[in-house]
Each structure stands twice: as C-alpha cells, then as structure tokens.
C-alpha cells in the first residue's frame, strides 16, 4: 500500500488496513505499533477518534520528498519555479525545465532519452505544444509525469525546484483541500 499511489505514510496505511478489517485505531496507535517493531502498545489503545496526522492538518502545507512524491492528480499549482523560471501549471513546469536543458546544450534526443515525450519541430496535434523560443514540441502529460520528468531534468542538470500546490476538493484527490510542497535540493 505504501509503495503505490497515493503513497500513504506507514501509520496511515496501518490505520486504513485496520479499518478494512473493522478495527479502529488512531494514528498514534499505529505509530506506537511501528516503534514497538510490530508488538501491540503496552498501554491500552486509545478510544477511536477522528484524529488527523499533524502534517495534514488544515491550513498546514505538507512537505513531500520529491523522490517519492504523492499522487498529484487533482492538484493545481499555487506557485512553482525551476531555477529562476516560474511556471503556472505542471506542463509549464516541464516546459521550463526542458528549456533550461536546451540552454545547457542538451539536444531533443538527449531529453527524449529520459522518456520525456518530445519531438523536434513545431507540432500541435496529439497533445503536443511547441516550447517557446525553441525548435521542439513536448506532449502534455498528467501532473505526476510532469513532476517526475521535471525532477529527472533537475537532478541531471542540478537545478533547483520549488512547487507549492493544492489538491482540489474532489473524490480521488490524495489530500482533498490540502496544500503541499515539493522542493529540491
């Protein structure tokens, strides 16, 4: 469960698994279980509560590890930068990182080797969008892929990334209504 989107923290996964088996435990109980290496806590379990992990409380921005980002479906960017270039959405972030790669002497082929859907020339069909001030076009991708590709470029080129985003209040969103932060290095 923790290795698949939306990549819950281990205590969150334990709480969900227990709920699936009609057992109610708190996040604190799950954390104690982990700390005790799988043994039940020595103190009696706390009564069921609607406790929310501290890092997911309303109005608190949760910082995520860019190596293991959460499920970014149903998110919108609040603010984003790759190096000194701002972006307004996930695909714009990827286009900015790709533009920087070109400024570092990368070719379309070298970018494509990372799995990024890019072609030479100005292509506007099949979801492709020309990258401004270049002779290349990149295909729009979902938020998860856009971040993953941007992060790959950032690692290869040693670029900084900072993305502040918010999940929409929709079914299927990893943390509906919550804000998150992905930052590297």
- Model pLDDT, residue 157: 97
Q: What is the mean pLDDT of each run of 10 residues along the chain (185 residues)?
A: 69 75 72 70 42 50 93 97 95 96 97 96 94 95 96 97 96 93 95
What is the C-alpha to C-alpha distance for residues 60 and 154, in angstroms, rounded to an integer?
A: 26
What pLDDT is stored for residue 40 in this prediction?
54
Which among 51, 55, 54 is positioned nearest to 26, based on CA atoms? 51
Give the C-alpha distances (Å, rounded to integers) separating 84 from 80, 99, 158, 162, 183: 10, 12, 13, 10, 14
Q: How far apart are CA 10 and CA 30, in angstroms?
A: 8
Tokens of 12: 């969150």
Cβ atoms of 76 and 89 within 8 Å: the answer is: yes
Residue 48's pLDDT is what? 38
Tell me the domain boundaries of the chain. 10-51, 75-184
The model scores a pTM over 0.85: no
């Amino acid at each position: 469960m923790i290795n698949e989107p939306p990549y819950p923290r281990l205590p969150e996964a334990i709480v969900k698994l227990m709920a699936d088996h009609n057992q109610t435990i708190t996040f604190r109980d799950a954390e104690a279980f982990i700390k005790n290496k799988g043994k039940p806590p020595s103190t009696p379990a706390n009564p069921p509560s609607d406790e929310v992990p501290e890092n997911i409380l309303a109005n608190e921005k949760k910082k995520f590890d860019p190596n293991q980002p959460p499920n970014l479906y149903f998110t919108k960017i609040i603010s984003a930068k790759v190096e000194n270039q701002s972006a307004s959405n996930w695909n714009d972030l990827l286009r900015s990182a790709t533009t920087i790669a070109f400024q570092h002497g990368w070719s379309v082929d070298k970018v494509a080797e990372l799995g990024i859907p890019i072609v030479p020339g100005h292509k506007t069909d099949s979801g492709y969008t020309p990258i401004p001030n270049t002779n290349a076009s990149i295909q729009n991708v979902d938020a998860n892929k856009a971040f993953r590709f941007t992060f790959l470029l950032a690692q290869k080129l040693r670029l900084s990334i900072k993305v502040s985003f918010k999940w929409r209040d929709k079914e299927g969103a990893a943390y509906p209504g919550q804000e998150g932060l992905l930052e590297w290095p």
